[in-house]
């Protein structure tokens, strides 16, 4: 589902990613950890086609991110700490907007389902600007799942959420993974990553220093890499 | 078909957002009407000077109001990284650009439609049967300005002082469009023959087409990180 080969990204003299090679299978749930500036967000941006690799290649859902970015975008759902939601539109209008952009069939039914699942049904006609941070992030996840992506890329999805919202999002991510959706999420919290992911990546100065099943990793193995370079 | 739906969806979203917030139109309208009212008091009512300078004042009002609107329109798209959300959709960048340009033309056009009658009354302008040509000049001038403005607002949105950067980048590049628009408007309001106006109109159309294709091709690289 995700395959990278010697993936590199530089911004001028700064090398953000220094040759990443890894593969993720269908339905895999992996956490990507690292200090600020380690290259986590850069990796997600490359995988989602928001920026181009400087060298190497990446495939998502069987499509090359450089040559077939449209096909990649059709198959991925992205959630970041920014919600990508329009505050002057209602929850339902936001989902309908994105649904039309993705050409989702049976949009009304699909959006109703997701609004109910995210416990936002009673507030569906309210403007997003009136939502709490947790509600906005739940709606962002509904937006990302609207077109039934096969790969979910989550960039710090729990930033600023309360416990209930974290719990709801965790359940949803685990269900998505059980439903054969490949999930790669960047996190700052090693405890959460160890408890909820099945595979753990740690990035340090643009290099993958840990790539192991989560149960084989101890918190002490990760912490030295949490210092900014 | 999907492309048309995406185009309509982006345009509809932009219009709906503006209908609810009214922040772009209000700012532009207040600015353009203020310019017209202030300049109205500079000249003696009904004087020849007033009519001579009217086309320049009209375009100053539209261009600066347009700059204000363009700056705000893209800044709004940056809030909550909504532009990134749009770029993550399976939508062609050139389609996104075209929809944004059309949206900006509509916003500036609406301000022009409201400001123009006020200008005609205040400056005692006689349009007569030249209305269709005046509207064509307004459209061509606005289209060229909005085309270049859309791409430069995307560039300046990523800079630290975007409100300053946008006019610095935009005005020099749009000089041919602004000049051609002012010249054709002044010839038209002076009652000159269409043959006199035509060279300026040709210049306006030429730059519109040139700028549209250049910006259309470059937009993908501008919005990419």
Residue A29: Cβ within 10 Å count:
21
- For residue B6, the chain A residues in CB contact (below 8 A) are 100-101
Which structural domain, as residue segments, surrounds residue B213? 2-222
Identity of the residue in B6, B84, B89 whose CB atom sits nearest the CB atom of A82: B84
pLDDT at A25: 92
Q: How far apart are CA A16 and CA A39, in angstroms?
A: 5
CA dihedral (A9, A12, A16, A22) in degrees, to 10, reads 20
Q: Which residue of B has its CA nearest to A153?
A: B88
pLDDT at B146: 96
**Cβ–Cβ gap A101/B21 under 8 Å:** no
**Cβ–Cβ gap B17/A76 under 8 Å:** no
pLDDT-based confidence at A228, cuts 50/70/90?
low
- For residue A100, the chain B residues in CB contact (below 8 A) are 5-6, 9
pTM of the predicted model as reported, rounded to 2 decimal places: 0.89
pLDDT-based confidence at B225, cuts 50/70/90?
low
pLDDT-based confidence at B208, cuts 50/70/90?
very high
CA distance B6 to chain A (A): 5
Identity of the residue in B6, B80, B225 whose CB atom sits nearest the CB atom of A82: B80
What the block records as the tokens of B167 is 């006019």
Is residue A229 pLDDT above 60, yes or no? no
**Cβ–Cβ gap B87/A50 under 8 Å:** yes
Identity of the residue in B13, B84, B89 whose CB atom sits nearest the CB atom of A86: B13
CA distance B175 to chain A (A): 33
Q: Which residue of A has its CA nearest to B95?
A: A101
Say yes or no: B17 contacts chain A, CB-CB below 8 A: yes
Short-list B144, B177, B170, B135, CA closest to B156? B170
Q: Which residue of B has its CA nearest to A72?
A: B90
Identity of the residue in A78, A87, A100 whose CB atom sits nearest the CB atom of B9: A100
pLDDT at B133: 93
pLDDT-based confidence at A68, cuts 50/70/90?
very high
* Residue A173 neighbours by CB under 8 Å, 6+ apart: A29, A152, A154, A157, A183, A185, A196
**Cβ–Cβ gap B84/A84 under 8 Å:** yes
Q: How far apart are CA A135 and CA A112, in angstroms?
A: 16
CB pairs under 8 A between A and B: 72
Per-residue pLDDT, averaged over A192-201, amounts to 90
Residue B124: Cβ within 10 Å count:
13
The total number of structural domains that make up chain B: 1
User: How does pLDDT run across A13-63, given as a tens digit for each residue?
Assistant: 888 898 899 999 999 999 999 888 888 999 999 999 888 899 999 999 999
- For residue B79, the chain A residues in CB contact (below 8 A) are 87
pLDDT at A227: 65
Short-list A202, A163, A197, CA closest to A28? A197
Identity of the residue in A51, A73, A87 whose CB atom sits nearest the CB atom of B89: A73
pLDDT at A158: 86
CA distance A74 to chain B (A): 6
pLDDT at A221: 82
């Amino acid at each position: 589902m995700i395959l990278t080969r010697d993936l590199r990204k530089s911004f001028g003299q700064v090398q953000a990613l220094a040759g990443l090679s890894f593969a993720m299978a269908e339905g895999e749930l992996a956490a990507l950890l690292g200090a600020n500036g380690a290259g986590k967000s850069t990796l997600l941006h490359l995988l989602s086609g928001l920026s181009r690799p400087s060298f190497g290649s990446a495939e998502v859902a069987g499509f090359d991110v450089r040559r077939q970015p449209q096909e990649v975008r059709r198959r991925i759902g992205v959630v970041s700490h920014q919600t990508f939601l329009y505050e002057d539109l209602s929850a339902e209008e936001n989902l309908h907007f994105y649904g039309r952009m993705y050409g989702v069939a049976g949009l009304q039914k699909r959006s109703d389902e997701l609004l109910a699942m995210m416990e936002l049904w009673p507030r569906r006609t309210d403007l997003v600007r009136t939502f709490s941070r947790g509600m906005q992030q739940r709606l962002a996840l509904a937006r990302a799942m609207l077109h039934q992506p096969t790969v979910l890329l989550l960039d710090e999805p729990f930033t600023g959420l309360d416990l209930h919202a974290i719990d709801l999002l965790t359940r949803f991510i685990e269900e998505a993974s059980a439903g054969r959706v490949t999930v790669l999420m960047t996190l700052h919290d090693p405890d959460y990553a160890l408890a909820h992911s099945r595979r753990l990546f740690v990035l340090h100065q643009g290099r993958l220093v840990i790539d192991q099943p989560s149960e084989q990793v101890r918190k002490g193995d990760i912490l030295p890499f949490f210092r900014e370079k | 078909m999907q492309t048309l739906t995406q185009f309509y969806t982006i345009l509809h979203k932009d219009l709906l957002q503006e209908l609810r917030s009214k922040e772009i139109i209000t700012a532009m309208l207040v600015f353009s009407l203020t310019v017209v009212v202030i300049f109205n008091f500079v000249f003696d009512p009904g004087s020849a000077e007033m009519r001579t300078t009217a086309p320049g004042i009209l375009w100053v009002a539209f261009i600066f109001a347009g700059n204000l609107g363009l700056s705000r329109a893209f800044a709004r798209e940056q809030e909550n990284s909504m532009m990134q959300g749009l770029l993550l959709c399976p939508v062609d960048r050139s389609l996104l650009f075209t929809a944004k340009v059309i949206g900006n033309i509509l916003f500036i056009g609406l301000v022009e439609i409201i400001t123009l009658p006020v200008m005609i009354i205040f400056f005692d302008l006689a349009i007569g049967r030249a209305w269709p040509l005046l509207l064509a000049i307004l459209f061509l001038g606005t289209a060229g300005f909005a085309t270049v403005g859309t791409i430069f607002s995307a560039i300046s949105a990523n800079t630290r002082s975007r409100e300053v950067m946008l006019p610095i980048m935009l005005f020099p590049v749009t000089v041919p469009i602004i000049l051609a628009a002012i010249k054709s408007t002044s010839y038209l309001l002076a009652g000159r023959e269409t043959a006199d106006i035509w060279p300026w109109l040709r210049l306006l159309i030429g730059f519109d087409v040139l700028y549209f294709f250049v910006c259309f091709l470059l937009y993908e690289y501008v919005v990419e990180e």
